[in-house]
Amino acid sequence: MDRTESAIEPLDTAEQRDWEAAQEPWLDISAWMPSEPKAITPLVDRLMQLVQEAHCLSGESLPLELGLREALYNAVVHGNRLDPAKLVEIHCRSERKNELDIVVKDQGQGFDLNAVPNPLAAENLLTEHGRGILFMRHWMDEVWFEQGGTVVHMRKGFHTQEGNEIPRRGGINSQLPGEPGCASRS
């Protein structure tokens, strides 16, 4: 396999069809990609195709795609710093209709959660970088970071319990990058 290609291991079609009877997830994908920006589009295109074929999200494909692209770009450029020896891991899982969990993990050093400047501050409006986390939080329903920022978790879709929305972490109403307590990178 060429270093610019990605490996994707989706469940086979029979497993996806029998998910309800077996209580298996609708979709369970593990993938990796090299730390090259040109590898992002082919991987995202294939993942989006698998998500659409699994019917795990309806009407949410564009925000999902944009959030995923931003997370992968951050992992490649800011996390792994374009190091060709490092890979980015991606896990996509859907256990319910209209819900998808995504984990993107880089092999970088992480980052200081409180050191990320607020992209909406006047002095940052014209900077080239710094809006990725803001965009991910806008497009996804939940975004949070673990392991010092090397792992980003994103969730698209609603989680309800007896008709009430379960509280979310890092949604569009959460703190902006650069504000105290904000876990972000871009």
CB 33 within 8 A of CB 47: no
Q: Note the pLDDT of residue 132.
A: 87
Nearest to 19 by CA among 101, 93, 102, 91: 93
Residue 171 in this model has a pLDDT that exceeds 70: no
**Helical (H) or strand (E) element with 63:** helix 61-73
Mean pLDDT, rounded, for 164-186: 43
Q: Note the pLDDT of residue 9.
A: 58
Q: What is the mean pLDDT of the chain?
A: 80
Other C-beta atoms closer than 10 Å to the C-beta of 74 total 25
Cα separation, 150 vs 72, in Å, equals: 11
Domain chopping of the chain, boundaries: 7-165
Q: Which amino acid is at 72?
A: L
Q: Note the pLDDT of residue 166.
A: 40
- Whole-model pTM: value is 0.75
Residues 7-31: pLDDT tens digits? 665 555 555 555 445 556 789 999 9
Residues 38-96: pLDDT tens digits? 999 999 999 999 999 988 887 778 999 999 999 999 999 999 999 999 999 999 999 88
Tally the residues of the chain: 186
Residue 110: phi, psi to the nearest 5?
Answer: 85, -165
CATH of domain 7-165: 3.30.565.10
Q: Note the pLDDT of residue 45.
A: 97
More confident residue, 75 or 159: 75
